[in-house]
Structure 1
Amino acid sequence: MLHISPEITIYILTITFILGCCLGSFADCAAGRLLSGESVVAGRSHCDHCGHVLGVLDLIPLFSWLLLKGHCRYCRAKIPAEAFFVELVSGIACCMIVYRYDMSVMSLRGILLTVVLMILSLTDLHGWIIPDRLQIAGCVIFLATALFLPDPIQRIFGGLFLGLILGGGMLLVSLVFDKLTGKESLGGGDIKLFFMTGLYLSSAWEILFYLILSCLFGLGFASFRKEKRVPFGPAIAAACFIMILYGEKLTGWYTGLF
């Protein structure tokens, strides 16, 4: 449906971008609430500094931040530019998913998982924590969407197998590394995240590419932050997003070389 005509493509991607920006706004808000102990679903959006309930004009993705020049309308407290970029990245990411999978269950799966990955990346980035409820949400998304795809039983058991291989393998590597160096390599949240995201992979080759990408993103993120210890969750999430989009193409290209 997406590629029926250029006009249809532009229309669908525009709507997707707008909705994606809204989901990014939700992800940023949800991450903040999880870290502060607030309910994610109850209560209206409010300024973190003055507590004033935000109106409609304060909640327009991208534009509100730009029009208010990154400040609260009521107390003039500074709103981090991260809020703007999270919304922008979410909109672009959703467009990439829909462009890749068209209007399908795979697009719905990819968008929902992306929101979860964005929230846990933010909580890990700011609070060094990946809440279990987000890991569970990722598992539920996998199971629920698998039921509407061809060969659901095979997909579910195949995903569980790869998830266990990936999560269990990283747990073993982490234990050995910690024993040899006396330092913690991976946190429990990272290992659970490898299991959860491993559900969405479809082959051992994808696991290999996934691990390589995770390490590369982790090294790049570490060099950017210039700190001795950096959260690994965002790197895992970024690698997972790439694999959702291009995992099959990457492995197909690589195996085709032999």
Structure 2
Amino acid sequence: ADVRSALQGMNQILESSGLHNKLDFSSWRAELDEQKKAYPLSYKTFGEEIPPQYAIQVVDELTNGEAIISTGVGQHQMWAAQYYNYKRPRQWLSSAGLGAMGFGLPAAAGAAVGNPGVTVVDIDGDGSFLMNVQELAMIKIENLPVKAMVLNNQHLGMVVQWEDRFYKANRAHTYLGNPANEEQIYPDFVKIAEGFGVPAARVARRSEVREAVRKMLETPGPYLLDVIVPHQEHVLPM
């Protein structure tokens, strides 16, 4: 079967039915706008710790909301939906239904190929990024200008949140660091990226985030920024 012919036929049926003229979501969008004004999103800051929401806001500001954003699956995915101000359809690429961890980096690569000249940022979590970390080789060899910002809390953050809220913080192998040395950043995403030939840096202080993100965006070709964030942060609403 010819998929193009089938889709064209479906379009003709929909157009002749007039159904598309009845799909008016303006009142629902107005309701959502009112709810956002009444209950704005917020987060707390603690000294020089980096709130993951803040890092995303900085990306939004420095790209003027024009970047294509891809994500993996987890807390970072929800924060990327909440704190980046999207301006057009297909600007946020995420595995929202299937919840496929590791989606962010290959999705960003595809977006970069299909949209030359457009800034593409993979906002990812450390657990999700590890699922497809080998794709650093592909973006290097193909010289794709994909920027990967890993919000690294050394945990499977979404599962930790459920453990905290529903299981009295009983941990079930959700810590991804080195149990023998919890002060160590493990694995070292900067060294991993550099091993693939991808420039990389780490930022762990809130006051240094803006300059680190600016360097990520301005560096030609692929780049990885490892952003150290607290694992105690919860994403709400959930």
TM-score for the superposition, normalised by structure 1: 0.27
Relative to total residues, which structure has the larger helix share, 1 or 2?
1
Relative to total residues, which structure has the larger strand share, 1 or 2?
2
